[in-house]
Amino acid sequence: MAGELLVVAELTDGSLRPVTVELVGEARRQADAAGGSVGVAILGDAAPHASSLGAYGADRVYAMPGAERGTLSALEALVREVQPTAILCPATAFGSDVAAGLAARLGAGLAANCLSLEASATGLLQKRPMYAGKVIATVETLVGPNVITARPRVFAPGIPQEGRSAQVVTREAVAPRPHEAVVELVKLVKAERTELDVSEAEIIVSGGRGLGGPEAFALLRDLAHVLNAAVGASRAAVDAGWMPHAHQVGQTGKTVSPRLYIACGISGAIQHLVGMSSSQCIVAINSDPEAPIFTRCDYGIVGDLFTVVPALIQELKRAGVGA
């Protein structure tokens, strides 16, 4: 698989999104295993980010000023010139749109929402969920460069190396195609957050169908408040209207990698496990001793969550946690 792995960077309000650093770290690991290199495409000025990307493993940073007004045309021209082995994009609204457009223009295969990558003789093998997370498929792209998307927190960022630098290559502006949609950012309005985002939290307390209704999530919020944690939910709880979709953890929600994940009343459907299995420590609370979640947790408590959670809150407060 020797060649260049190209990461498409995503910026928010002028700053690199953490998922970009995660993708660069994974690209570096794969390139080291196969004797390849890592490039990063930035739609705009690369100067503020080149040193950071170099430290995390990028060999080249492609600065593409003006590309914001013709994103696909600019990236297509870069890919056709550089001929990367694979193109890695974040599985965000931006990255998914770019990946689909590039794959269509290049006549290449697209593997979306990948969970892991493995070098092969022809490129990269990708593992991704299918059928709403019920199975994990191993995919090999045989036509064109591999176009891959991965969700935030799927890959761990590499360890930055001080003094490591990346070559900055500035690309000339590419005019968009006559009928290519041109998007101009007029204003960025940030939503007000009253709760931690599960995709960024170090500790998550999640609830599922076992809570019985939306009112019970107040109990989980009490535990989350003590632990300074985010509140998550299973797909069943979100589909029932008990929690907003922004809190959903799983294949059709958000992939999380917290230090501690507490699953309350969650049976452990594969769709949910896909989204939280990379948590460092998983604690499951469920009254059903046969619940699948107990096969994937580090610590399991068989009991009524309405008894266990209040007792847990009381003990944490007694120990001075959250004081």
pLDDT tens for residues 180-189? Answer: 666 666 777 7
**Radius of gyration for the alpha carbons in the chain, expressed in angstroms and rounded:** 22
Neighbours of 168 (CB within 10 A): 18
The pLDDT value given to residue 9? 93
In which band, very low, low, confident or very high, does the pLDDT at 172 lie, cut at 50, 70 and 90?
confident
- Report the pLDDT averaged over residues 260-289: 92
Residue 67 has pLDDT above 70, yes or no: no
Residue type, 118: E
The pLDDT value given to residue 194? 67
Give pLDDT tens digits for 188-211: 777 666 678 898 889 999 999 999
103-107, 222-226, 270-274: the lowest-pLDDT one: 270-274
Task: Based on DSSP, count helices (H) and strands (E) in the chain, helices before strands.
Answer: 8, 17
The pLDDT value given to residue 45? 81
The pLDDT value given to residue 118? 86
Tokens 């990255």 belong to residue: 95
Overall CATH class of domain 4-170: alpha beta
Q: Where in the chain is the domain with CATH 3.40.50.1220?
A: 203-318
CATH of domain 203-318: 3.40.50.1220
Residue 312 has pLDDT above 90, yes or no: yes
Q: Where in the chain is the domain with CATH 3.40.50.620?
A: 4-170
Give pLDDT tens digits for 11-62: 887 888 889 999 999 999 999 888 889 999 998 888 889 999 999 999 999 9
Give the integer Cα–Cα distance in Å for 49 and 58: 11
Residue 262 has pLDDT above 70, yes or no: yes
